[in-house]
Structures are given as C-alpha cells and as structure tokens.
Structure 1
Amino acid sequence: MGKTSDLTLVQKTIIDTLHKEALIEAPKPLLTVQPEPSQIVRGEAVTLTCDIQGEGWTYNWQCGEEQDNSVEKELKITVESQQKCRCYGCRQSFCSQLSENVTLAVLERPKPCLNVQPEPSQIFRGETVTLTCDIQETDVSSWIYSWNKDDSLIHVSQSQEYRISAVSESHTGNYSCTGRETRGSRYSRTSDKVTLTVSGSEAPLPVLSVLKLLSFLLAASPYLLVSIILGVKCYRAHVQTDGIYQYIVTEV
C-alpha cells in the first residue's frame, strides 16, 4: 500500500516537472472556414471553427485588426474585405499554440443584367411587357428575385421573369432587380435601372405590304391566282371616239 502511494507521488512529481519545464508541447488548433475561404462573396456571413484537443478552452480569434474571444469554438463574422484569420485557446494559465493563418479571399457580388421586351422606349398602352433579371458569373443555382420600381419594392419571385400584362401610363418608371440565394446568405448587387416609357396610345396595327397581302391570299387560295391572270388578260379599254366613250372588252 505504501509503495503504491509512493509511485503515485512520483508520477505526479514527474508530470508537474514536465509542465514546469515546458517539455509537454502545447496542442495546435485546426482552423476551418465555411464556406470555402476561396469562395466568399463580399458581405457574406462565414463560420470559423477552432478545433483544439480537450475541453474547457476559451477561444481567442484574430481576423485582420479585429480580435474576439469566446467559450464557443465557432465564430460567425461578415466579410467585407480580404483578411487573414487565426485562433488559439487558453484554459487557466495554459495556452495552445497559434493555428495556421487562413486567408479569406473576397469575391465581388454579381451584378444582374435587366432586360426588357419589347424595347423599353417603344411600349404602347395595352401591351405585355416582360422584364428578365439575368445573374451570371456565380455558382449559385437558385435565386429569389426582388423587383423595384422607382426604388420601391413591387414584386418578389423565384422566377427571373416579371411580366406586366396590359401596361398603362401608370407603369412608366425606373425598374431594377436584385437576387438573394434561395438557401444561403449570398445576394447580388442591384442592376442598373431601366426606364420604362408607356405611350398613351395603343399599339398600331401591323401594316402589310401589297406584295405580302397578295402572297398570303395566293397561298390561301390557288384559284385566286387564276382569277388574277384572267383579270389581267381581260381588261376594259377606255376609248374616246367623237366625244363618245366606248368600252371594249378584249377576249381571252
């Protein structure tokens, strides 16, 4: 019994000595980032995780010039510019090593292109107008689109098209759109404004040329072609003889 107590005391003395002489290497944290640090869009929220072996740590963070500490191993921040982050942990007077630096590379948010059909400067009352919000150069597969008229929200949809049926003068204004990721925190910039001008008159009827009309009629009825040929061959000639008008019909 006395030997066991002596052995335990010896072990404790050895461990204390190792701590004092710093022969036990402090653990090194593993810092991870979600989403991937190379795919972060400006203004996006990211989650930093500082993994250290053991429990009871107080976590210390440094991102750029900002510093923070928490008992939670996760830290959420909003990234506006490229920066380097690292972390370490402490419990009582014992601290871990510093983690490796992780660089948060910031990508610019995509800017939508707003297209209008028909031409926004040639819209007549009663027409149907289609606005399309096109967001490219991004790996986001699904967007929720917001439509604004004169800087006021008018429509939200998962469709990139916004259709206005039977437009009137009240639809005249400046239109723009933005996109927000359906299941995530990413969002686009605002598109350039497009001015919609609705004419007070209705759209003019399409004008068909004589040739187009004849082509249509001939295609619709081959017998009409025969009638036209007969009409050309059989015409009335107006002849004036001694002040008397005579009409001569030429036989076919």
Structure 2
Amino acid sequence: MVTSSFTAHCPLNPTLITSPGLHASTYVILATFTALLPPTRLGETVTLRCEIQGGGGTQWTYEWRPTNRNSPTSSEYRINRVSESDNGEYSCKAKRGRQLTDWSDAFRLTVRYKPRATLTADRTTIPLGGSVTLTCSVDKSVDWKFDWFRNGKQYSVGRIRGNTEPSGTISVSEGRVYSCRGGRGDPVFQTETSNEVSIQKTGEFSFYFMTVFDAI
C-alpha cells in the first residue's frame, strides 16, 4: 500500500491552554491520506488519519469536514468503496477539554473511474523452442498484483517455469488467447479485464490448399 501525507500547523487559542505541561502555541496535525495511490479509483477504500504531535495522550476528539456523511469523532476517517460523490476537500480539527485546534489544511480527494488493465506482447508468434513475453500494466501506476487468463479461464502463472506470480510480466510458450487483470489494496480493488492478445506458436498456423491447373 502506498501512502502520501501532508502536515498542517493548527494554532491553538492560547486562552484555552489549561494544562501546565503544554507551552507551545501550535500543534502539528499530521493528516495522512492512506489509499492505493491518488487519484483514487471508484470502489477503492480510502482512510484519512489526523494525528496530534506534541499534544500528549490520546484523549482528543476529532471533527471532520465535510460533514455530509456520518463523519467519526476518532482520528480516522474511513470511506469504503468511494464514489464520485466523495470528491472534494477534507480537513480535520481536534479538541481535548478546553483545548482546541484550528482546522487542518485541506486534502483534496479525487475519484476517477475504474481503470482497465493493458496487455502487450513483445511478439505474437512464439519462435521454435522459444517464448513470448507478456506485460500487464495499469496507467503506469504501481503496487498492482495481476491475475492472468488463458482462453478466458484464470490460471496460475506460477506453474510455468521462470514465472513468479503475481508479476506484471510473464513468459508464455503456448499459443493461446491471453488477458489479465490488476488488483491491489485490502479489500482488493480490481481493474477491468484487459484487452485480449492472441499468441500463436510456430507450426500452428492455418494452411490453405491451392489447386494449380496446367494451361491447355
């Protein structure tokens, strides 16, 4: 899982500081956007976390915005199976007793359509005694694991010598129609199945017969 983060300085109102051990006029709220990799895809799970550094203890109550859904009072804001309606800016603030932070800087969540995997081959004909390399990718992004399909049925590429499942690149030595699908995250978010690539083996071509008549 890939994470990206940003920090926000959240000034405390000095008149509300009552604990003798707290002398700083600011806290740093570290809001960590935990997702598979922005921009987020439809159906993925997104978790926003808001932490108080230097505040001491864990007795903070959090407020999140936007508040158009059942936003929690904990430091974690989880959105299961994001949709386009979740697009927008998110921020948080915290309070403990009479202590109160300002709102953190906003994090913009962008939700896009479910991607489709892309399958390419270095050649479409398997040379005698050789193999063809297939590469499955998703928008040049990372952390994907791949399922492979041969003639429409899923199969384990780990059974093929030299392949390590679930790599995005495999070598095949059988003439078939191949496709792939990417998945990542927990729960797993899957892409649409890729385009199909037809691979032929030398000697498996279709032949046709031609009758030649001698001219009279």
Q: Specify the TM-score bucket, using the shorter chain as the normaliser.
A: 0.5 to 0.7
Residues 187-232 of structure 1, C-alpha deviation per residue, up to 9 Å, x if partnerless?
6623434264879x84489xxxxxxxxxxxxxxxxxxxxxxxxxxx
Partner of 1:138 in structure 2? 140
Q: Deviations over 1:58-108 (max 9, x none)?
A: 22333462233244x344445444222122234457654333322123456
Shift of residue 177, structure 1, vs aligned partner? 0.8
Give the structure 2 partner of residue 51 of structure 1.
52
Distance in 2 between the 1:186 and 1:193 partners? Answer: 21
Distance 2:134 2:197 in 1: 14
- Indicate yes or no: 2:172 matched with 1:163: yes
Q: CA deviation at 1:54?
A: 4.3
CA contact (8 A) 1:28 1:97 kept: no
Which deviates more, 106-115 or 154-163?
106-115
* CA–CA separation in structure 1 for the residues paired with 2:40 and 2:149: 23
Query: Can you list the C-alpha shifts for 1:126-174, whole angstroms capped at 9, x where unaligned?
Result: 997636234264342x643211246542134315124143x4xxx5x6x
The correspondence for 1:194, drawn from 193, 196, 201, is 196
Change (3 A) 1:164 1:139: same
CA distance in 2, matches of 1:139, 1:115: 16
- Counterpart AA for 2:69: E
* Map 1:1-252 → 2, pairs under 5 A: 24-25=15-16, 30-34=29-33, 39-42=38-41, 43=44, 45-51=46-52, 53-55=55-57, 56-63=59-66, 65-71=68-74, 73-78=75-80, 79-81=82-84, 82-92=87-97, 95-106=100-111, 111-116=116-121, 117-118=123-124, 130=132, 132-135=134-137, 137-140=139-142, 143-149=144-150, 152-155=153-156, 156-165=165-174, 167=175, 171=176, 175-180=178-183, 189-194=191-196, 196=198, 202-203=204-205
Q: Secondary structure at 1:66's aligned position in 2? A: coil
AA paired with 2:155?
Answer: I
SS in 2 for 1:67: coil
Q: Matches of 1:93 and 1:24 in 2, distance apart? A: 9
Cα distance in structure 1, aligned partners of 2:131 and 2:36: 41
For structure 1, the residue ranges without an aligned partner over 5 or more in a row are 1-21, 206-252
Cross-structure match for 1:222: none
Cα distance change on mapping 1:111 and 1:157 into 2, 3 Å: same
Check the 8 A contact 2:136/2:146 in 1, yes or no: no
Specify whether residues 94 and 197 from structure 1 end up closer, same or farther in structure 2 by C-alpha distance, changes over 3 A only. Answer: closer
Query: Could you tell me the percent identity over the aligned residues?
Result: 15
Q: 1:159 to 1:24 in 2, by over 3 A?
A: same
Distance between the aligned counterparts of 2:166 and 2:151, measured in 1? 18
How many aligned positions are there? 169
Any stretches of 5+ residues in structure 2 without a counterpart?
A: 1-12, 18-25, 157-164, 208-216
Larger RCO, structure (CA 8 Å, separation 6 or more) = 2
Bigger Rg over Cα: 1
